Amino acid sequence: MNITLKSPYFNEILHLLERLEQTQQATFEQAAQKIAECLKNNGVIHTFGCGHSGSAALEPFHRSGCFAAVDAILDPGLMFQHGAHTGTNLERQEGYTPKLLATHDLRAGDILLVFSNSGRNPAGIDAVLTAKEKGLFTIAFTAASAHKKSKSRHSSGLLLKDAADLVIDNCVSQNETCLTLDDTAVAPISTLAFTAALHHILYQAAVLLYRQGKPLPIYKSSNTEGGDMHNTALAAKYAARIKYLK
C-alpha cells in the first residue's frame, strides 16, 4: 500500500486492512455465501463475544445498514457490567455459555459468529460446540498468531479454530495491539479488525442477495425520513426469533 499517514496508528490500520484483503478474501467469500444462504432461508445470524470482543458481537445488531436478522447474544456478566474480573472469570468458566445460548432461539440452518482474539477460553469454545449440536454453521473470528502460542483452557483441549466450521484470521497480534513504546505494547486494534472483517462479509452477503434479486432486509437510520416506519416493519418480522428485539 503506497499511502502513508502521519499517525503510526492509522498506518497500522491501513496495513491491517491490506493483510486482511490479501490473506482472508477466500474465507470472506465462503462466510458471505453461508450468510446469504442462511438469510434466503429465513435464518438468523447469531453473534457472540466476551469482554471487548463483545463489542464486535453487538456491532451488527439493530444497526443502520445491517441485516435485521441478527441476534446478539449478550450477557451482562461477560460484558463487564458485573465487574471486569467477574467477566474474565466467567469467560474462563466451562459450562456457562450453553446455559446462556439456551435462552436464545437457535435453529438448524442458522449461523453463529464467535469473536475471540485468543480463542482459548471456554466461553467461545462452548458457544461453538453448543451451536454445532443444534445444527448451526459456526464462524470464528480470531487471531492465528494467538492460536500458535496459546494453550486451550477448555477441557477438550480445543482452541476456537479447532471447534468452528470456518475460521477468519483477524491478522492481529496475540496481545491485540499494534505498536510499542520501548517494551510496552500499546494501541489495541483487534476490535477494529473484527468489525472491518465482519462488515466486509455482510456487505458481500448483501451483494450476493442483490444480484439474485432477493430482498435486502436491512435497517435504515432511525434519524432519516421514514426510517422508523421501515425499521418497525422489519423488527416485527424477526421479533419472535431475536431475544433483544423489543
Q: Please report the pLDDT score of residue 1 as a whole number.
A: 56
Structural domain total, the chain: 1
Q: Does residue 3 belong to any structural domain of this protein? A: no
Q: pTM here?
A: 0.96
Interval 129-135 mean pLDDT: 98
pLDDT confidence band for 3 (50 / 70 / 90)? confident
Q: Does residue 12 belong to any structural domain of this protein? A: no
Structural domain harbouring 199: 31-238
Q: Does residue 191 belong to any structural domain of this protein? A: yes
DSSP string of the chain, one letter each residue: -----S-HHHHHHHHHHHHHHHHHHHHHHHHHHHHHHHHHTT--EEEEE-TTHHHHHHTTTT-TTSBS-EEEE--TTTTTTT-HHHHHHHHT-TTHHHHHHTTS---TT-EEEEE-SS--SHHHHHHHHHHHHTT-EEEEEE-HHHHHH----STT---HHHHSSEEEE----TTSEEEEETTEEEEE-HHHHHHHHHHHHHHHHHHHHHHTT----BPPPTTSTTHHHHHHHHHHHHTTT-TT--
Q: Does residue 77 belong to any structural domain of this protein? A: yes
Interval 130-155 mean pLDDT: 93
Q: Does residue 17 belong to any structural domain of this protein? A: no
| Number of neighbouring beta carbons within 10 Å of residue 133 | 11
Which CATH number covers residue 128?
3.40.50.10490
Q: Please report the pLDDT score of residue 246 as a whole number.
A: 80
Interval 105-132 mean pLDDT: 97
Q: Does residue 105 belong to any structural domain of this protein? A: yes
Q: Please report the pLDDT score of residue 147 as a whole number.
A: 79
| pLDDT tens for each residue of 19-31 | 999 999 999 999 9
Q: Does residue 104 belong to any structural domain of this protein? A: yes
Is the Cβ–Cβ distance between 202 and 47 less than 8 Å? no
CA 76 and chain centroid, separation: 17
Q: Does residue 72 belong to any structural domain of this protein? A: yes
C-alpha cell at 59: 456491532
